[in-house]
Amino acid sequence: MTMAGTRADTAHPGIGQDGAPAPVPIADDVHWIGALDPQLRRFDLILRTANGTTYNAYAVRGRDGVAVVDTVKAEFAEPFFARLEQVARYDEIRVIVLNHLEPDHSGALPELMRRAPQARLIISKRAPAMLKALLKADDEEIRYETVDTGHEIDLGGRRLKFLHTPFLHWPDTQCTYLVEEQVLFSGDVFGCHHCDRRLFNDRVGDFRFAFEYYYAHIMRPFKAHVLDALRLIEPLPLKLIAPTHGPILRERPRRYVARYRELSGGAALEPMPVDSAPLRTLLIFYLSAYGSTARMAEAICAGAETVHSVRVSLYDLDGGESEPFVDLIEAADALALGSPTVNGDAVKPVWDLLSSLAVVNLRGKVGAAFGSYGWSGEAVPMIEDRLRGLKLRVPLPGLRLKLIPTDAELADCRDFGRRLARALVGDAASGSGNGQAARGVIDFAELG
Ligand SMILES: Cc1cc2nc3c(=O)[nH]c(=O)nc-3n(C[C@H](O)[C@H](O)[C@H](O)COP(=O)(O)O)c2cc1C
Ligand SMILES: [Fe+2]
Ligand SMILES: [Fe+2]
């Protein structure tokens, strides 16, 4: 099944279209000015990205000017420049730092250099050849400065210090440390493909799987280099790690550093983080051929997110692999599964996931099913039966709707999400409170 771009026009307040240009403050006079790419399902050919990714870029203001740290993929230049323009004028930009030159972070660089011609381009000592190949230009045409570990740039009360961390995961990789704020701009290091507009690790959905998956596919081939880099990073006081993909790590950032050491074979300092334990977690998985079930999933997610003590994560099964999802589900409190009805059944990846769950104790977790259908709509009740068979509690009748959801039906989906989240935190009023029989399925076509 493929999404075939069908969601491009669906605004979703949960992980959303990247329409809103607001930059996000992450420290004093430091802003996130990156871009969200929730539609991406495969990155660099080798990575599945079940809910997309982010290209994080940052602006740092000192007394004497502004530094831009990393840019975004070329096709996301528009939101990046829109956000940048809200925190700085182009003539204020003194330096542009590229932590590595891969196109997902250097795509908007040529245009940024055109708009801020006075800015000094700062790259690692191993990057010049890469830069020339990237910009297809000769030495004389590109002005750049290379830096190494220990080099420093003072923006006026704001010092950027550089750490040479080659091969994490490109030869020219470096990290940039903002001394006064104790912020590490780590590039792809400590990053992951997890798109969530809430941005911060203590606010987004459960991304532990994404973090480990990213390490396994991107950093693991370079373990020895990771250990070298950690020797530079570990002594730094750290308030926050700002990577180029995925959540910004402000809650206990050091745990992620420790996890890299553990995964790279060094002595572990701390176990893998379990974020914000008091929150209840809801995972929403879906598959959709034409986008209707996807839109339901997004609306359910948006509704559930309005319940504060519940952390919601949304995953397209088309962009993932069952096995790591099983670990996520084992650790979660609730699971909602969405499938269209195809040939009188739910689609195979949904059954694959459900059959993988046989090894996990799911008793007492909350389950729910939803999906779009054309005429008979068997998928939702079949999934519900299976969820009950797996001993999940299914407090709300499954939600199915005929073909393309209307605005009113999407509002019902948001309500379904809200009630599901409330059921999770024990709000008795939520249950099957709409008067439907517990095993019944809400069918908008029948309700008329
Ligand atoms: C190959 C195929 C078989 C289908 N079989 C059924 C079916 O047996 N019963 C039904 O209610 N709808 C059936 N449908 C209709 C889909 O469930 C419907 O188009 C639904 O809106 C698709 O949801 P989606 O946009 O999330 O993919 C079928 C559609 C396709 C393409
Ligand atoms: Fe990269
Ligand atoms: Fe990257």
When mean pLDDT is compared across 147-151, 181-185, 214-218, the lowest value belongs to 214-218
Q: Where would I find the H helices in 370-406?
A: 379-389
Which ligand is in closest contact with the Cα of 10? Answer: 1
Residues 311 and 244 in one domain: no
Residues 42 and 67 in one domain: yes
Q: Give the structural domain span for 62.
A: 24-263
Asked, for residue 3, whether it belongs to a domain, the answer is no
Residue nearest to ligand 1 atom 2, measured at CA:
342
**pLDDT recorded at residue 163:** 98
Model pLDDT for residues 6-15, shown as the tens digit of each residue = 333 233 323 3
Percent residues over pLDDT 70 in the chain: 87
- Asked whether the predicted pLDDT for residue 36 surpasses 80, the reply is yes
Residues 168 and 298 in one domain: no
Residues 227 and 317 in one domain: no
Residues 255 and 284 in one domain: no
- Asked whether the predicted pLDDT for residue 158 surpasses 90, the reply is yes
CB 143 within 8 A of CB 121: yes
Residue nearest to ligand 1 atom 1, measured at CA:
342
- Asked whether the predicted pLDDT for residue 294 surpasses 70, the reply is yes
Ligand 1 atom having least distance to the Cα of 291: 25
Distance (angstroms) between ligand 1 centre and the Cα of 381 equals 15
Ligand 1 atom having least distance to the Cα of 287: 26
Instruction: Provide the sign of the torsion angle of the four alpha carbons 333, 282, 207, 193, taken in this order.
Output: positive
Residues 210 and 140 in one domain: yes
292: domain CATH number is 3.40.50.360
**pLDDT recorded at residue 322:** 75
Residue nearest to ligand 1 atom 19, measured at CA:
374
Based on the structure, what is the number of domains in the chain? 2
Asked, for residue 5, whether it belongs to a domain, the answer is no
Pocket-testing residue among 284, 339, 341, ligand 1, by greatest number of atoms within 8 A of Cβ? 341
**pLDDT recorded at residue 436:** 34
- Asked whether the predicted pLDDT for residue 141 surpasses 90, the reply is no
Distance (angstroms) between ligand 1 centre and the Cα of 406 equals 17
**pLDDT mean over 185-209:** 94
Residues 368 and 320 in one domain: yes
CA distances from 47 to 43, 194, 218, 256, 283 (A): 5, 12, 9, 20, 20
Comparing 446 with 350, the larger pLDDT belongs to 350
Phi, psi of 309 (to 5 degrees): -85, 10
- Please report which confidence band the pLDDT of residue 278 belongs to, taking 50, 70 and 90 as the band edges: low
Average per-residue pLDDT for the chain: 87
**pLDDT recorded at residue 3:** 34
**pLDDT mean over 35-39:** 93
Residue nearest to ligand 1 atom 27, measured at CA:
289
Query: Is residue 13 packed enough to be buried (19+ CB in 10 Å), middle (13-18) or exposed (0-12)?
Result: middle
Tell whether pTM > 0.85: no
**pLDDT recorded at residue 21:** 65
**pLDDT mean over 274-279:** 57
Residues 305 and 246 in one domain: no
Ligand 1 atom having least distance to the Cα of 344: 8
**pLDDT recorded at residue 83:** 96
Residues with CB under 6 A from ligand 1: 288-293, 340-344, 372-377, 403
**pLDDT mean over 286-313:** 95
Distance (angstroms) between ligand 1 centre and the Cα of 342 equals 5
Asked, for residue 131, whether it belongs to a domain, the answer is yes
* Structural element, H or E, at residue 147: strand 145-147
**pLDDT recorded at residue 272:** 52
Q: How far apart are CA 357 and CA 68, in angstroms?
A: 45
Residues 318 and 207 in one domain: no
Pocket-testing residue among 300, 316, 373, 409, ligand 1, by greatest number of atoms within 8 A of Cβ? 373
Ligand 1 atom having least distance to the Cα of 286: 26
Residue nearest to ligand 1 atom 29, measured at CA:
342
- Asked whether the predicted pLDDT for residue 209 surpasses 50, the reply is yes
- Asked whether the predicted pLDDT for residue 439 surpasses 70, the reply is no
Distance (angstroms) between ligand 3 centre and the Cα of 398 equals 39
Distance (angstroms) between ligand 2 centre and the Cα of 106 equals 10
**pLDDT mean over 99-115:** 96
Sheet holding 183-187, edge to edge: 152-154, 159-164, 174-178, 183-187, 240-243
- Please report which confidence band the pLDDT of residue 45 belongs to, taking 50, 70 and 90 as the band edges: confident
User: Which of 219, 238, 263 marks a domain boundary?
Assistant: 263
Ligand 1 atom having least distance to the Cα of 345: 8
Distance (angstroms) between ligand 2 centre and the Cα of 232 equals 20
User: Which of 211, 228, 263 marks a domain boundary?
Assistant: 263
Ligand 1 atom having least distance to the Cα of 404: 21
163: domain CATH number is 3.60.15.10
**pLDDT mean over 319-324:** 76
**pLDDT mean over 430-441:** 37
**pLDDT recorded at residue 327:** 82
Asked, for residue 274, whether it belongs to a domain, the answer is no
Distance (angstroms) between ligand 1 centre and the Cα of 371 equals 10
Model pLDDT for residues 121-134, shown as the tens digit of each residue = 999 999 998 898 88
Residues 232 and 322 in one domain: no
Residues 177 and 291 in one domain: no
* Structural element, H or E, at residue 422: helix 407-424
When mean pLDDT is compared across 253-267, 286-300, 356-370, 423-437, the lowest value belongs to 423-437
- Please report which confidence band the pLDDT of residue 155 belongs to, taking 50, 70 and 90 as the band edges: very high
Residues 200 and 236 in one domain: yes
